[in-house]
């Protein structure tokens, strides 16, 4: 029942926004099409501006993954993750999550199908996936779009948020489903 409801909300959210905003605006006397085009013009420059930042970050992350350096880090961090009570299988996902959205989604999907969505690992990886963000991507794209090169404490802040989301996911999954 809730599953169906959530699914319906997800299906309808964007179509509803697409029709509701222009309709309300039209009733309030906005020239909707002209307003749309006016706003849309900024889209191109913003997207192009982030390319250098994105290339720099994605190349480094991709080399780190493809070389096997990430697997090495997984190996080194293994005792730490055991300490907070998570199964070893979850560690690659935890490390991948802030680096690559696509990579993490792939790992989570793989964990869920291998261990089953209703296993502890399946549930834990699901909560983890929803509770953390691709911090490096967000940082690169958001700051890149306005040309900011010095991130100050934003990176630490983003990673702190990720780590606390991660630990909370592990603790909650163990407590609720362990």
Interface with another protein: number of residues (CB under 8 A): 97
57 binds another protein (CB under 8 A): yes
CB of 111 to another protein, least distance (A): 10
| Residues from 65 through 124 that contact another protein (CB under 8 A) | 65-69, 72-73, 105, 108-109, 112-113, 116-118, 122-123
Residue from 15, 42, 76, 83 in contact with another protein (CB under 8 A): 42
- CA-nearest of 175, 174, 165, 77 to 121 is 174
Contact 155, 119 (CB under 8 A): no
Residue number, 22 or 89, with CB nearest to another protein: 22
Residue from 12, 15, 32, 89 in contact with another protein (CB under 8 A): 32
Contacts of 37 (CB under 8 A, 6+ apart): none
Q: 157-178 in b/e burial notation, b at 16+ Cβ within 10 A?
A: ebeeebeebbbebbebbbeeee
């Amino acid at each position: 029942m809730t599953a169906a409801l959530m699914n319906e909300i997800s299906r309808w959210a964007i179509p509803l926004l697409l029709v509701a905003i222009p309709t309300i605006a039209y009733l309030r006397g906005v020239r909707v099409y002209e307003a749309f085009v006016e706003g849309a013009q900024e889209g191109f420059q913003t997207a192009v501006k982030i390319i250098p930042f994105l290339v720099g970050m994605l190349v480094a992350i991709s080399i780190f993954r493809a070389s096997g350096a990430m697997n090495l880090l997984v190996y080194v961090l293994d005792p730490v993750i055991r300490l907070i009570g998570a199964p070893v299988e979850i560690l690659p996902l935890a490390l991948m999550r802030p680096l690559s959205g696509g990579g993490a989604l792939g790992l989570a999907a793989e964990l869920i199908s291998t261990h089953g969505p209703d296993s502890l690992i399946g549930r834990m990886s699901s909560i983890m996936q929803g509770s953390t963000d691709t911090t490096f991507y967000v940082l690169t794209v958001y700051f890149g779009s306005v040309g900011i090169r010095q991130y100050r404490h934003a990176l630490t802040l983003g990673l702190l948020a990720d780590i606390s989301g991660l630990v909370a996911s592990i603790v909650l999954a163990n407590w609720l489903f362990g």
